[in-house]
């Protein structure tokens, strides 16, 4: 199989050369065992192409390349120069924005105009942020101990960092990790999700074009059980960062612990509440909560999939929510994610389609819950699921407790603040939350009492690249974005200096 193939996206009149090989030492190479993975367009259920899948031996090769680059070049590269290279990368991202977004849409099914282009805007902003932060956020501290001694701290990079990213935001989640780790002075071996590897494989060559030395960035597509497990257990990987399900995150943490006790950052699942009080601006609450669950087809770890509404406005909220979703959240013309009117794309795969449909059928037939389908599933071979909401769902319901990861919301009413916060915290997850109220005291009480890493007040799912992001409880460990996005990739070294005369 060739290391490149010609692909076209006729909706945008785009033709380009897609890399298919592993990216190691600034070169695309075949996998050592020549095994491949086929990737499928989820909007049509048709194959796009196949690419090479990294073996355990390939992981060893990439980690060795990253180690060599770190020890001989990257650890000796000034923070200012690292920032300049990241700035070069940012310019290339802008130049290739439309193509990168198109590859994302082709491979993941996310709507091009309303999702994919927005992802690239955030990636561009984030890259500029870390280009500027490379020589500013890695500063240590001087500590005057006494007249004869002082100490200082150094924020030292870990060295070789492994990163594993999910399929719901292939380039965005990769960039959340890569740019901060590079700015902090680490080298990288990163694994994209096996069903959305194309955009990161194309993206890899931009690092070489930006001037990054060979081995600093290595991209290894492959199966989680092979490539991911090998990275998590590799004895010469100093740190691993993972975004994905809680179940897989637990496995990554176990492998890290039983290998070399490598440092771990985990961003895992969520079942975020969106709490709407009676004094909220109802139209705004409807708009934000609909976006919070149906954007990206509900495939968001932070999706406000549990909507808790005060009982006095419950019926009004449901009526407005239903009408808004029916008008604004559609599959577009011919259920094509490249159509400008498309706001809901397919879910990622047949497996995910069956999983989400399984939850819907369970809610209908096993729990006998009331359900509203706010549209009709298109009659094609793609993995489209119409926006759905279950009403008056009890807290013990499987649909209330488990992460569905699709365009399915559950709606429950509450009487007062105490019941609202109890319901909101009634989950093993703690990634994000949203509250809608015009009462500033109530909003701040909620922010204090909710057990979640992110709280949105009168909005939902509007991340900012300068603000830390991460979860409580089983939603993960550590933080990304902002200064935390560099701190996560450094460890503190303390230096004691004795200036006394004996």
Task: Return the active site residues.
Answer: 267
| Assigned token pair, 291 | 């976006």
| Assigned token pair, 417 | 């603040």
Q: Give 48-84 as a DSSP string.
A: EEEEE---HHHHHHHHHHHHHHHHHTGGGS-HHHHHH
What gap in Å lies between CA 157 and CA 67, rounded to an integer? 13
Q: Angle, to 10 degrees, between the axis of helix 170-184 and the axis of helix 79-95?
A: 160
Residue among 21, 349, 431 nearest 168 (CA):
349
Distance of CA 346 to the CA centre of its chain: 18
| Assigned token pair, 102 | 């198109």
| Assigned token pair, 396 | 């013990």
Q: What radius of gyration do the chain's Cα atoms show?
A: 23
Query: Which residues face 421 on adjacent strands?
Result: none
Angle 417-423-425 (CA atoms, 0-180°, nearest 5)?
100
307 Rama class: left (phi>0) / alpha (psi -120 to 50) / beta: beta
Alpha helices in 134-169 (DSSP H): none
Number of helical H runs and strand E runs in the chain: 15, 24
Q: Give 408-426 as a DSSP string.
A: EEEEEEESSHHHHHHHHT-
Handedness of CA 490, 253, 243, 411 (dihedral sign): negative
Contact 271, 402 (CB under 8 A): yes
């Amino acid at each position: 199989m060739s290391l490149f193939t010609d692909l076209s996206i006729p909706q945008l009149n785009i033709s380009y050369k897609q890399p298919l090989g592993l990216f190691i030492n600034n070169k695309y190479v075949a996998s050592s065992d020549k095994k491949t993975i086929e990737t499928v367009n989820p909007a049509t259920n048709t194959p796009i192409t196949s690419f090479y899948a990294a073996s355990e031996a390939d992981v060893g090769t990439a980690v060795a390349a990253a180690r060599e680059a770190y020890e001989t070049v990257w650890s000796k590269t000034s923070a200012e120069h690292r920032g300049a290279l990241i700035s070069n990368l940012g310019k290339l991202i802008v130049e290739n924005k439309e193509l990168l977004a198109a590859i994302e849409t082709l491979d993941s099914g996310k709507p091009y105009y309303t999702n994919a282009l927005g992802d690239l805007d955030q990636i561009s902003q984030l890259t500029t942020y870390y280009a500027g932060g490379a020589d500013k956020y890695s500063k240590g501290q001087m500590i005057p101990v006494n007249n004869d001694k002082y100490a200082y701290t150094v924020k030292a990079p870990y060295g070789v960092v492994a990163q594993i990213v999910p399929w719901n935001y292939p380039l965005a989640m990769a960039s959340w990790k890569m740019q901060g780790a590079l700015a902090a002075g680490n080298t990288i071996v990163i694994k994209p999700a096996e069903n959305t590897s194309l955009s990161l494989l194309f993206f890899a060559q931009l690092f070489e074009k930006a001037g990054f030395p060979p081995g600093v960035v290595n991209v290894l597509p492959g199966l989680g059980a092979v490539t991911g497990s090998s990275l998590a257990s590799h004895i010469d990987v100093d740190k691993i960062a993972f975004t994905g399900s809680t179940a897989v995150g637990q496995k990554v943490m176990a492998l890290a612990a039983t290998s070399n006790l490598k440092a771990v950052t985990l961003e895992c699942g969520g079942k975020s509440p969106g709490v709407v009080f009676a004094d909220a601006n109802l139209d705004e609450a409807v708009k934000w909560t609909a976006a919070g669950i149906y954007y990206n087809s509900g495939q968001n770890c932070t999706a406000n999939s549990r909507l808790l509404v005060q009982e006095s406005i419950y019926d009004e909220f449901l009526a407005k929510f239903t009408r808004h979703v029916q008008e604004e959240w559609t599959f577009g013309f011919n259920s094509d994610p490249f159509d400008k009117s498309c706001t809901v794309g397919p879910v990622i795969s047949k497996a995910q389609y069956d999983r989400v449909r399984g939850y819907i059928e369970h809610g209908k037939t096993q729990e006998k819950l009331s359900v509203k389908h706010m549209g009709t599933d298109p009659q094609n071979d793609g993995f489209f699921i119409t926006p759905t909401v279950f009403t008056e769902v009890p807290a013990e319901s499987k649909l209330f407790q488990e992460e569905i990861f699709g365009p399915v919301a559950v709606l429950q009413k509450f009487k007062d603040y105490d019941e609202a916060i109890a319901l909101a915290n009634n989950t093993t997850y703690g990634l994000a939350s949203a509250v809608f109220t015009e009462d500033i005291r109530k909003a701040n009480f909620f922010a204090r009492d909710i057990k979640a890493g992110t709280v949105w007040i009168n909005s939902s799912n509007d991340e900012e690249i300068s603000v830390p992001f991460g979860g409580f409880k089983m939603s993960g460990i550590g933080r990304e974005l902002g200064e935390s996005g560099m701190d996560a990739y450094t460890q503190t070294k303390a230096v004691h200096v004795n200036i006394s005369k004996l």
